[in-house]
Chains A and B, each alone.
Chain A
Amino acid sequence: MLGLVSAKNMFSRMVRAGSLLSVLLMFGCSSSEMLVKIPSNSDGATIAPYDTSTFKNNIDLFSPLSLERKIDQLKLLQRTEKLFVLFDNSDSMQDNYRGISRYDYGLEILDRFHRTLPNMTLQGNVFITSAYINTFFLSRILSGDNNQDEFSWAIEPYDPDIMQERAKDTTQSFVAGDGSLHSAIYEMSDLIAYTNEPAALLLVTHWERIDKKALTAIAHLRQRIKMQHDKELCVYTIGVGNNYSRARFDQSDTCGTSVAADKIAQPRDMLHFIERMFFFGPADTDNDGIYDYRDKCPDTEQGRLVRFDGCKRFDSADLSNDVLKKPLDKSRFIVSNW
């Protein structure tokens, strides 16, 4: 009996190991220094020589960390409920970057982003900048009708798997603009301005595509959101093609950040990026400045000094006048007349 069970276990382990191997084969194991490991083409997988010197720095398999646990533990608050992704699939994205095209690179990062997204209420959609076979042109739909309710089609529950497919498969994608970044942004601005919930715009593009026109477009969009809803649009950029952030959207007084794809390629960093993007610090219900997850006294009265554990710093007994009267006549005190 026992032997049978163990044999069974062994078998299942082998199966699992086999699947692991196949995944390994699929993703490949190149010895280059790049942080993101992406197969050079979709069907061919190569096995790179095992190199310990670079092994430490490379996590070839992307296994997303769970953000749900952290959200639960630290009681993180969701700050963004709408997400619009603009995936740049223009010609300039076809350039080679580190052996593969920027397009594949961007797609992989977007995939990792989607796989890391925690389970939460999120709405939005993914758009691409240009399509080879026209399907849905956002502009066409938008220009046809001024009824704002028409936008509701573009705001759907954000399912990462579907969205990833949508970015990947141009036949299914929603296309915004005429291929340039700024035209896409301009077209999306109606849609984004239509929502009045905190929204985030995620651009996945090549740094050099962010030109003066794109900057203006973003500035216009921000202004519009500000004027219409007195809200702020957070613009996040994942840049493909350089280790360092080259985005010019970030200003000290705006919301959103830009990162290079390589910087968030690892689970830890991706997790952090997503956390920053969608969540706002741990909750503090009693507003005593101590986060709920470490607040041992979760209902401190307003205005009291607290300890690091969230409980009152000074006993109530210390505060009452009467108690002090007993040992010594304390009404002698508080005589300062400044």
Chain B
Amino acid sequence: MKCCSAKVNSIIRATLLSTLFALQANPISAQDRLGILLPGETQLQQAVKAAARVQDDPLPDPEIDITLPEEPELVEVEEQSELEKKVAETLETISLEEQIQQQVVQAELEQFGYDIFSQAPTTFAPVEGIPVPPDYVIGPGDTFILQIYGATDVEYRLVVTREGKLLIPEIGDIQIAGLTFEEAKFTLNEQITKLRIGVKTVVTLADLHTIQVMMVGEVARPGAYTVSGLSSLLNTLITTGGIKRTGTLRNIQVRRQNKIVASMDIYQVLLKGIDESNIYLRQGDVVFVPPIGQTIGVAGEVHRPAIYEIKTENTVDEVLEMAGGLLPTASADKSHIERITGSGLRTLVSANLDAGGGNIEVKNGDLIRVFPVLNKMEDVVLLSGHVLIPGGFQWTPGMRVSDLIKSPSILRQSAEYEVAMVQREITSKKRIEAHYFNLGEVLENPASKQNIKLSPRDQVIVFDTHSPRGNQVADMVRKLKSQATAFDPPGMFDARGYLRHQGEYPLEKGMRLLDAINVTGGVQVGTDTRYSLLVRKDQTTKNIEFIQLSLDKAKRKPFGDHNPVIKPEDRIYVFDSSIDRVELIKADLEQVKTQTRYGDLSPVVRVAGKVLKPGTYPLVPGMRVEDLVIAAGGMKEDAFGITASLSRHEIVDGEFSKTDNLNVKLQDNRAHEFNAQTILHPYDHLVLRAKPEWNDAPKLVRIEGEVIYPGEYHVGKRETLCSLVQRAGGFTEDAYLFGSAFFRESVREREQEAMDRIHDQIDDLLVDVHMSPGYQKDQKLPVNKNAHDLYRVIRELDRPQAVGRMVVDIETAVTKCDETADIVLEDGDRLVVPRYKEEVSVVGQVYHPTSHKYQSDRAAYDYVNLSGGTKEFAAREHIYIVQANGEVMTARSSVSSWGWLGSPANVKVTPGSTVFVPLSVDRINGREFSQSWVELVYKLALSAASLKFIFEDPSN
């Protein structure tokens, strides 16, 4: 009967808050549930974050449902790997100390129930507009509204006096205080009806009286409060700021006239909704909150992980019931209690809830941890990789691969048929291992041995032919590495070089070299099947050694030495002709060198010269010269196969080394000779030379013009111009031997180099000129007119192209054919024999540059004059004659005598010559730097002039 709406309201609120509390606590406990023991720092961060979340955002989205963990599913590959990763992480070693440390942390746990006080109302305003509960006790200050109707119709608003009376006009006073509202109503009705006949009365309460209560003990804000007369205990506690975390929630006492009239257990309200002790306070009541009693923490897989205060509860079960009971993911048999012992230390008491652990008595300060079940699935196999439907499948006893992969239809396009992998967990040893099988064989013939048996939790990985395989096995390799111990090296091998899928792979026991190569995609076309390397690590010393293997021999004898059983941490190198094998094995070779100690020599040998891959190779036991040649990929075609030289460091007399040069006769097989069977020593250096006079590039020369058979000729090593002309059928009648031009590539290159150098010098010079200060100092960027002119000239010149003409006396060379005059031909030589021409050209600074008929009595200046004479800017004293054979001479330096009065001599010219009248450089540039570019201008002009004659169209 003691029920009213205000109370209901408060209860609703309380339960809501408690739910929220549970929600807030969950993100923190989530990690417990997952069983991940994070490192301390991460945990700290999480705790801080959680704390921040509680403060800043007290009302998180209630939609988030994290009370139930996701059901572990084996549907997607990614999910599986994530799941497995978690498992792997839990498998990681962690010391006992650390683990306890992790578990001790309970800052993440909140005390249960205090959250209902977290939102203190801002005012103490009495609650209005709610029905007055019938058991409300009237006191002075309550305002009644009396409506009397019938004979008279009046309405009074009356306040209960301090004496507790209601003074009603025309009726008198009625003692009313101390009565409940229900009683007061009855009394008033009775009295009024008694005194005034024929009226009816309606009694309601308008304003309620206020009462004063004392809040003392472990409350947030102790003191005297004036609260609405309609206040309940819980209500008052909430509005006055609530109870401190040090105060109890289980035993709140209300004292009235020195007697305890009520003692409240808020847990009853929060956990069960029972609020029978939530009484209405009266004037003068004292609310006393005693200090908190015994507390028990509950963490892990329960609905409400928190710190609980216990009153009558004294067993684990009872505490767990308070915490809402176990979650479905809880692993009831793996719970324990963290307890503080009498000696002040922490200890763990295991509480197997499945076996009476629930009856263990709890003690103050205990922390009950309930661990989650492991995220592991039993009796499943997983199919992953290049399949259409990856995911988990039920495992049945006796299951084989063919039961999982029944037909190729579930494989995706270009799935690898040659090899597929099974990742197996050895439950008894807590290790994983790999198994390989031939998928194609399984599909074709389920009875074959390739169709291996599957175990629970096997993971079948189907590879594909193209994508990198390393990623698919990387996870497993990582696990293999992490599960390795000093006595149990990681069961993996490394395959490098000319393989379809290089990388590290899990190793299956008993696997051989060819199997390992098969796993990486098989032996590729173009593999060097005579030389492969196996690098084996000694598991006691960690020293490595090289083993030279031949895939050919391995193939021929599958159980022979050359197809050895691969051991953990082996590294396989497979080569082809293009891969840089020397570079590939360099790191391992370096290690071999560093692990060699005094008294031994590093087992390395070098090979240089005409082998496919010269460089440093490991010296394997029993290695011979021929093995080294094979290691280097064999001899090149131009190698001199008869002898090679072997430099050997010979230690004589203990410590002194001498270098011996041994001549190895590769094709000799006599005993006691150095031949291909010679045993190599460390640091031997084998040099294979080229065949003598090996001619790998054909020498081509060209002969053009006036010969009988012009064209391209292939010439021998020491063939000369004379013999070439002979082969070309000799000259025609019109051939002008004196004017023949001989071009050579090497000459052209040298010329070009020289020209470029001059050009570069001029460029530099230009920069200098531009940078040099002008005549007037205030001119910041001097305008040097000369420089501009010069620049223009050079721009027009552009880069001159050398032609590579060699001045050769063809006539003598060809007619005499003797050693002094003849020329040995080089590749790219070119002989141009022009037609005889009786003309002399005049170019340059003349008024009419043209050609003139050659006449033997005319000299250079005669031709110049025939062309109208020199122009104003002509450098008369620098006139050049370019003779038909390419020789250049100035008029001055010729053998002709000087003219009188110092005028230039008049030189005789030959038919086909060009007379070149250059520009006077002084006219365009008076400065001293002119000299170098003049050279260039001349060179250019000369080369043009000299070829003018040769390349003239013969039809003219």
Q: A310-B621, A328-B508 are in contact. List 19 more A-B contacts (CB 8 A).
A: A65-B653, A252-B645, A252-B663, A253-B663, A267-B653, A289-B623, A289-B624, A303-B561, A305-B561, A313-B547, A318-B565, A327-B509, A330-B510, A333-B511, A333-B512, A333-B515, A334-B558, A336-B515, A338-B555
Q: How large is the interface on B (under 10, 10 to 19, 20 to 34, 35 or more residues)?
A: 35 or more
Q: How far is the CB of A282 from chain B (nearest CB, A)?
A: 9
Chain A residues with CB below 8 A from B330, complex form: none
Chain A residues with CB below 8 A from B231, complex form: none
Closest B residue to A288 by CB, please name it: B622
Q: How far is the CB of A301 from chain B (nearest CB, A)?
A: 10
Q: How far is the CB of A32 from chain B (nearest CB, A)?
A: 23
Say whether A98 faces chain B, with CB atoms less than 8 Å apart: no
Given contacts A289-B679, A305-B547, A313-B561, contact A252 B689 (CB under 8 A): yes
Say whether B951 faces chain A, with CB atoms less than 8 Å apart: no
Chain A residues with CB below 8 A from B549, complex form: 305
Say whether B658 faces chain A, with CB atoms less than 8 Å apart: yes
Give the distance in Å from the alpha carbon of A266 to the alpha carbon of B665 in the complex: 30
5 sample A-B contacts, Cβ–Cβ < 8 Å, listed by A number = A281-B679, A305-B621, A312-B561, A332-B450, A333-B510
Chain B residues with CB below 8 A from A267, complex form: 653
Q: Are B622 and A332 in contact (CB under 8 A)?
A: no
Chain A residues with CB below 8 A from B563, complex form: 334
Q: Which segment, of B343-351, B516-524, B853-861, faces chain A?
A: B516-524
Q: Are A335 and B523 in contact (CB under 8 A)?
A: no
Q: Which segment, of A14-22, A125-133, A213-221, A269-277, faces chain B?
A: A269-277
Give the distance in Å from the alpha carbon of A41 to the alpha carbon of B731 in the complex: 75
Q: Are B652 and A335 in contact (CB under 8 A)?
A: no
Count chain A CB atoms within 10 A of each CB in B452, B559, B660 and give the residue with the most.
B559
Give the distance in Å from the alpha carbon of A321 to the alpha carbon of B658 in the complex: 48
Give the distance in Å from the alpha carbon of A327 to the alpha carbon of B642 in the complex: 51
Give the distance in Å from the alpha carbon of A268 to the alpha carbon of B665 in the complex: 28
Q: Are A272 and B652 in contact (CB under 8 A)?
A: yes
Say whether B869 faces chain A, with CB atoms less than 8 Å apart: no
Q: How far is the CB of B349 from chain A (nearest CB, A)?
A: 45
**B436, B437, B510, B656: which contacts A327 (Cβ < 8 A)?**
B510
Per-position 1/0 for B526-565, Cβ under 8 A of A: 0000000000000000000001110000010011111111
Closest A residue to B523 by CB, please name it: A338
Chain B residues with CB below 8 A from A331, complex form: 449
Chain A residues with CB below 8 A from B452, complex form: 329, 332
**A198, A304, A314, A336: which contacts B517 (Cβ < 8 A)?**
A336
Say whether B643 faces chain A, with CB atoms less than 8 Å apart: yes
Count chain B CB atoms within 10 A of each CB in A267, A288, A337 and give the residue with the most.
A337
Closest A residue to B603 by CB, please name it: A308
Q: How far is the CB of B572 from chain A (nearest CB, A)?
A: 14
Within 8 A of A (CB), among B624-657: 624, 642-643, 645, 650, 652-653, 656
Say whether A75 faces chain B, with CB atoms less than 8 Å apart: no
**A77, A268, A327, A334: which contacts B672 (Cβ < 8 A)?**
A77
Chain B residues with CB below 8 A from A291, complex form: 679
Say whether A284 faces chain B, with CB atoms less than 8 Å apart: yes
Say whether B269 faces chain A, with CB atoms less than 8 Å apart: no
Given contacts A252-B689, A280-B672, A334-B512, contact A306 B652 (CB under 8 A): no
Say whether B914 faces chain A, with CB atoms less than 8 Å apart: no
**B511, B652, B678: which contacts A268 (Cβ < 8 A)?**
B652
Q: Are A307 and B621 in contact (CB under 8 A)?
A: yes
Give the distance in Å from the alpha carbon of A62 to the alpha carbon of B672 in the complex: 30
Give the distance in Å from the alpha carbon of A68 to the alpha carbon of B379 in the complex: 75
Closest B residue to A291 by CB, please name it: B679
Per-position 1/0 for A237-259, Cβ under 8 A of B: 00000000000000011110100
Q: Are B652 and A269 in contact (CB under 8 A)?
A: yes
Say whether B514 faces chain A, with CB atoms less than 8 Å apart: yes
Give the distance in Å from the alpha carbon of A308 to the alpha carbon of B596 in the complex: 13
Say whether A115 faces chain B, with CB atoms less than 8 Å apart: no
Chain A residues with CB below 8 A from B511, complex form: 333
Chain A residues with CB below 8 A from B518, complex form: 335-336
Q: Are A290 and B622 in contact (CB under 8 A)?
A: yes
What 8 pairs across the A-B complex have the smallest Cβ distances? Answer: A289-B622, A79-B672, A280-B672, A338-B523, A253-B643, A268-B653, A305-B561, A334-B558
Q: How far is the CB of A299 from chain B (nearest CB, A)?
A: 14
Chain B residues with CB below 8 A from A280, complex form: 672-673
Q: Are A284 and B645 in contact (CB under 8 A)?
A: no
Say whether B441 faces chain A, with CB atoms less than 8 Å apart: yes
Say whether B438 faces chain A, with CB atoms less than 8 Å apart: yes
Q: Are B672 and A254 in contact (CB under 8 A)?
A: no
Q: How far is the CB of A233 from chain B (nearest CB, A)?
A: 13
Q: Are A338 and B522 in contact (CB under 8 A)?
A: yes
Say whether A319 faces chain B, with CB atoms less than 8 Å apart: yes
Q: Are A334 and B514 in contact (CB under 8 A)?
A: yes
Give the distance in Å from the alpha carbon of A147 to the alpha carbon of B557 in the complex: 58
Give the distance in Å from the alpha carbon of A110 to the alpha carbon of B510 in the complex: 64
Q: How far is the CB of A55 from chain B (nearest CB, A)?
A: 18
Q: Are B523 and A313 in contact (CB under 8 A)?
A: no
Say whether A10 faces chain B, with CB atoms less than 8 Å apart: no
Q: How far is the CB of B807 from chain A (nearest CB, A)?
A: 37
Closest A residue to B438 by CB, please name it: A335
Say whether A52 faces chain B, with CB atoms less than 8 Å apart: no
Chain B residues with CB below 8 A from A272, complex form: 650, 652, 658
Within 8 A of A (CB), among B433-490: 436-438, 441, 449-450, 452
Per-position 1/0 for A16-33, Cβ under 8 A of B: 000000000000000000
Chain A residues with CB below 8 A from B645, complex form: 252
Chain B residues with CB below 8 A from A143, complex form: none
Closest A residue to B624 by CB, please name it: A289
Q: Are B652 and A253 in contact (CB under 8 A)?
A: no
Chain A residues with CB below 8 A from B565, complex form: 314, 318, 324
Q: Are A290 and B510 in contact (CB under 8 A)?
A: no
Give the distance in Å from the alpha carbon of A307 to the alpha carbon of B536 in the complex: 12
Q: How far is the CB of B536 from chain A (nearest CB, A)?
A: 9
Give the distance in Å from the alpha carbon of A304 to the alpha carbon of B620 in the complex: 13
Q: Are A253 and B523 in contact (CB under 8 A)?
A: no
Q: Are A254 and B450 in contact (CB under 8 A)?
A: no
